């Protein structure tokens, strides 16, 4: 897993999506064909790093590899350009995680690869 993650790390560190060259629609995660006009003329685009929480939940049954992070706060965040991201909310008191709250992307440790010991980082969000 570590090698695959390493090869596409810019997409995790930069919150990389894409933009349709024909109609201007922006997508995250990247798509192969524009959902609005059907065009295949798409270019990489850095997504805005701020948005607002549309909905959120708290997981008490951890996903494999995330046992130490229970409870795990997840949210759907609508970025300033309208693209939506499912992301973990971190470094935020539970009472501040609410629908409509402003959130911004940060880079945090996701996990440690068991075989290589490599620390894998990615985007998460904080409220505020």
> In the predicted model, what is the mean pLDDT of the chain?
88
Domain of residue 108, residue span: 2-127
pLDDT of amino acid 15: 87
Q: Which long-range contacts (CB under 8 A, 24 or more apart) does 58-64 make?
A: 58/94
Name the residue among 17, 90, 84 with its Cα closest to residue 54.
84
CATH number at residue 26: 2.40.50.840
| 3 vs 56, residue with greater confidence | 56
Domains of the chain: total: 1
Q: Are 75 and 96 in contact (CB under 8 A)?
A: no
The per-residue pLDDT for range 73-128, each reduced to its tens digit, is 999 999 999 999 999 999 999 999 999 999 999 988 877 777 777 777 788 999 99
How much is the average pLDDT of 51-55?
Answer: 98
pLDDT of amino acid 120: 74
- 3-state SS of the chain: helix, strand, coil percent to 5? 15, 45, 45
Tell me the percentage of the chain whose pLDDT exceeds 90: 66
pLDDT of amino acid 3: 53
């Amino acid at each position: 897993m570590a090698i695959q993650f390493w090869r596409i790390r810019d997409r995790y560190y930069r919150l990389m999506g894409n933009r349709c060259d024909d109609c201007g629609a922006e997508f995250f995660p990247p798509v192969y064909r524009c959902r609005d006009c059907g065009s295949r003329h798409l270019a990489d685009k850095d997504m805005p790093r701020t948005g607002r929480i549309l909905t959120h939940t708290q997981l008490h049954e951890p996903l494999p590899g995330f046992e130490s992070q229970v409870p795990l706060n997840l949210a759907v965040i609508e970025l300033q350009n309208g693209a939506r991201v499912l992301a973990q909310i971190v470094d935020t008191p539970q009472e501040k995680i609410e629908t409509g709250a402003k959130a911004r992307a940060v880079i945090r440790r996701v996990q440690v690869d068991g075989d290589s010991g490599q620390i894998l980082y990615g985007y998460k969000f904080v409220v505020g």
